[in-house]
């Protein structure tokens, strides 16, 4: 938002606090659940328990998101049992939050099993302002890219499929790029978010570039000048951000295990800690991606209901004096 010029009538955007109106839309973004059909992931990580802990943390936020976006590597091996388990864990939470789930394919997924396990029947109840995705490929082809478009009350969310069957690196093939170009030819009222697994960003970790997204220049040519306001991704198992074609990119870490970046880049490896999810707040003029660590920690109680009520009862000047003034 551009600051009001002196003399311009000022309409309070958000009473009583701050200069910004509340977010127009809110999403939950998590990634890389890597569920397995049985046992521990890699014999080491309890992907199911870690996902459940993440979902419990999401519920604790009290947020009613417009969508829950899971940016790929939904399962580790593409096992039907793993997709069933994933659905059984996620859908009740989504129903409780009244939010649609946007399943994005990752390199560890298998398109036919993902389709059969997650997309085969009706999605959970969505907010009345949302409509479920339109898949872009004939359902008859189980190997077709898993893509979709959601209208989240004027905010368009497009799920891309950056997987390459049989490989771990990423790509958006020419047909999908053309489809994306056509979708973006008409802007959405609140703009567009893209969700895909392989982030169009570099990684400082050696050899990760082998598994990166290919044909990024071609994708950038489509994104540049469009109404795309943000790109959500995963794959790296650590949270990071950057820009691509001038558009902010936000990478959510994993719920299963994360990369221990406290090591020299050549020694980075997975650890059963640091799991998190992102709260995506879509404002009129910006989008924030807040990283929420999934931890059990004692938390202070300074900002009580009584304190908030006390602040709300003050004038803006009194509030500044009460809360901003250094003692």
| Residue numbers at the binding site for Fe ion (CB under 5 A) | 32, 73, 106-107, 235
Least Å distance between CB 98 and Fe ion? 28
Minimum CB distance to Fe ion smaller for 153 or for 270? 270
Contact between 256 and 106 under an 8 Å Cβ cutoff? The reply is no
Q: Within 13 Å and on the Cβ side, how many CA atoms surround 211?
A: 19
Nearer to Fe ion, 36 or 190 (CB): 36
Per the listing, tokens 């994005």 go with 104
Residue nearest to Fe ion (CB): 73
Q: Which two tokens stand for residue 121?
A: 């029947």
Give least dist CB 205 to Fe ion, A.
13
Output the DSSP codes for 286-307: -EEEEEEE---------S-HHH
Distance between CA 264 and CA 105 in Å, rounded?
Answer: 30
Please, which residues bridge with residue 270 across strands? 259
Identity of the residue, 188 or 253, whose beta carbon is nearer to Fe ion in the bound complex: 253
DSSP letters spanning 63-125: ---SEEEEES--BSS--HHHHHHHHHHHHHHHHHHT--EEEE--TT--HHHHIIIIISSPPPP
Minimum distance from residue 73 beta carbon to Fe ion (Å): 3
By beta-carbon proximity to Fe ion, the closer residue of 77 and 314 is 77
Rounded to the nearest whole angstrom, what is the least distance from the CB of residue 269 to Fe ion in the complex? 14
Q: Quick one: 171 or 183, whose CB is closer to Fe ion? A: 171
Q: Whose Cβ is closer to Fe ion: residue 2's or residue 207's?
A: 207
Rounded to the nearest 10 degrees, what angle do helices 174-184 and 216-223 cross at?
10
Least distance in Å: CB of 299 to Fe ion? 30
Q: CB of 326: closest distance to Fe ion in angstroms?
A: 46
């Amino acid at each position: 938002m551009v600051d009001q010029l002196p003399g311009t009538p000022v309409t309070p955007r958000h009473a009583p606090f701050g200069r910004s109106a509340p977010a127009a839309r809110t999403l939950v973004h998590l990634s890389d659940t890597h569920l397995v059909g049985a046992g521990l992931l890699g014999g080491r990580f309890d992907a199911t328990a870690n996902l459940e802990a993440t979902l419990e943390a999401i519920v604790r936020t009290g947020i009613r998101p417009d969508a829950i976006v899971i940016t790929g590597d939904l399962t580790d091996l593409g096992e039907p049992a793993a997709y069933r388990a994933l659905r059984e864990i996620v859908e009740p939470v989504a129903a409780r939050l009244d939010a649609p789930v946007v399943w994005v394919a990752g390199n560890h997924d298998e398109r036919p099993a993902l389709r059969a396990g997650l997309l085969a029947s009706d999605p959970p109840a969505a907010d009345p302002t949302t409509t479920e995705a339109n898949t872009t490929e004939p359902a008859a082809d189980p190997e077709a890219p898993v893509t979709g478009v959601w209208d989240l009350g004027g905010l368009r969310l497009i799920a891309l499929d950056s997987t390459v069957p049989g490989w771990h690196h990423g790509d958006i093939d020419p047909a999908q790029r053309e489809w994306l170009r056509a979708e973006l030819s008409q802007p959405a009222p609140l703009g567009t978010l893209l969700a895909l697994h392989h982030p169009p960003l570099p990684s400082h970790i050696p050899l990760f570039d082998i598994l990166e997204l290919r044909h990024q220049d071609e994708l950038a040519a489509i994104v540049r000048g469009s109404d795309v306001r943000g790109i959500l991704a995963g794959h790296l198992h650590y949270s990071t951000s950057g820009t691509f074609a001038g558009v902010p990119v936000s990478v959510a870490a994993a719920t299963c295990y994360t990369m221990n970046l406290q090591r020299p880049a050549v020694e980075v490896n997975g650890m059963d800690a640091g799991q998190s999810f992102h709260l995506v707040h879509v404002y009129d003029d910006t989008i924030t991606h807040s990283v929420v660590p999934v931890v059990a920690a004692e938390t202070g109680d300074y900002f009580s209901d009584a304190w908030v009520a006390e602040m709300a009862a003050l004038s803006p000047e009194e509030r500044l004096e009460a809360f901003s003034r250094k003692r």
